[in-house]
Amino acid sequence: MASSKLSPCLIFLQIIFLVFVFNSANAQLKVGFYKDTCPKAEAIVKEVMDQVMKVAPSLSGPLLRMHFHDCFVRGCEGSVLLNSSTGQAEKDSPPNLSLRGYQVIDRVKTALEKECPGVVSCADILAIVARDVTVATMGPFWEVETGRRDGRVSTFSEPLTNLPPFFANISQLISMFRSKGLSVKDLVVLSGGHTIGTSHCSSFSSRLYNSTGKDGTDPTLDSEYIEKLKNKCKVGDQTTLVEMDPGSVRTFDNSYYTLVAKRRGLFQSDAALLDNSETKAYVKLQSAATHRSTFFKDFGVSMINMGRVEVLTGKAGEIRKVCSKVN
C-alpha cells in the first residue's frame, strides 16, 4: 500500500527530471543564437571594436586574454567583469590585475542594450570581442557560438587556483587544461595567442635573476635573449611592459612558435611546450611553416572549444543589464 501511494510522486519526479534533461539538451550554444532576438548583435560589436582598434590597438591582447581568463574561472559566464565594493572579485585577484579593456566591454554592452535591451549576455560579448580583436590583428575568423548567460558570483580566490600561471610546467598546464575539458592540442594552440600583447617584467623576471643557471638565469632561455630582456627589465621592475612576440606584437601570426622553438618564449609556461612530445611537435610544425600552415584554422577550433567550458544556458544565470554588476 505504501509503495502504491508513492507511485504518483515518483512519476511526477520522473516527468520533472525528463523535462529538465530535455531543456538542458536543447539549451545549448549555437551560431546565430541572436538571429531573431537581436539580429544586428555581432555587427554592432564589430562596429564598436573597429572604432576601438583604430585608436587603441594595444588592447587587442588584453581583450583576447580576458575571454580566456573568464572561461577558466567558473566557465565562460562573464564573472571576470563583475565589480566588488570590497575588492574581492575575480578582477581584483593578482592573475587578473594586468587585464585591461573593461571599459570597451561596457561600451559594447551599452550599444547592444540600446538596440536590444536585456538580450545579449556579457559572456557572449567577451567571446565575440575575442574573435573580433583577433581578426583586427590580421588573425583568423571563426563563427562564434552564442547563447551563454551571465553568472552572479565572482570571487578573489578562484583565479589563483584555476588560471594556469606563467611559471607552470608542462604537467601542470596539461592537467589544468584537461580539468576544463580541453586537450593537449588546445593547450599548445591557445598558447599561440601570446603572439599579440605585452607583459610586465614581473611576470618573467625570475627567469632573468632568480633561476638555476649562470648568474641566476634560466638555462632554458636563450642567452642572447636574456641579455636583451635584462636591458629592459631591471631587478624589481614592476611597471615596464615587454612585447610577448617581439616585432609582431600587433600582428596575429605563427611567429610565436618560431620564438618558442628558439628558446625565446617569454614565460616559463611558453618554454614548457618543449617538454612534451605532442606540444613540441606542434611548435616545430608551426615554426617551420612558411605561411600560416594550420595554425589559423586550429586557433579558431580551439577558441570554440574553450568557449564551451562550463557555460550557463537556458534559464541558468541571467542577462546582465550592466556587465560589472548583477541585476
Active-site pick, 67, 69, 200, 291: 69
195 has binding-site annotation: yes
> CA-to-CA distance for 280 and 261, rounded, in angstroms?
8
253 has binding-site annotation: yes
Catalytic residue status for 291: no
Contact of 312 with 75, CB cutoff 8 Å: yes
245 has binding-site annotation: yes
> CA-to-CA distance for 273 and 169, rounded, in angstroms?
9
CB atoms within 10 A of CB 171: 11
90 has binding-site annotation: yes
Contact of 233 with 226, CB cutoff 8 Å: no
Fill in the DSSP letter of residue 1.
-
192 has binding-site annotation: no
CB atoms within 10 A of CB 84: 15
79 has binding-site annotation: yes
Which residues are registered as beta bridge partners of 200? 241
32 has binding-site annotation: no
Contact of 172 with 267, CB cutoff 8 Å: no
Helices (H), the chain: 2-26, 41-55, 60-71, 102-115, 122-136, 158-162, 170-178, 184-191, 206-209, 223-232, 255-261, 268-271, 277-287, 295-306
Annotated binding site for substrate: 164
Annotated binding-site ranges for Ca(2+) = 70, 73, 75, 79, 90, 195, 245, 253
Task: Return binding residues for heme b.
Answer: 194
Q: Which residues are catalytic?
A: 69
The binding site comprises 70, 73, 75, 79, 90, 164, 194-195, 245, 253
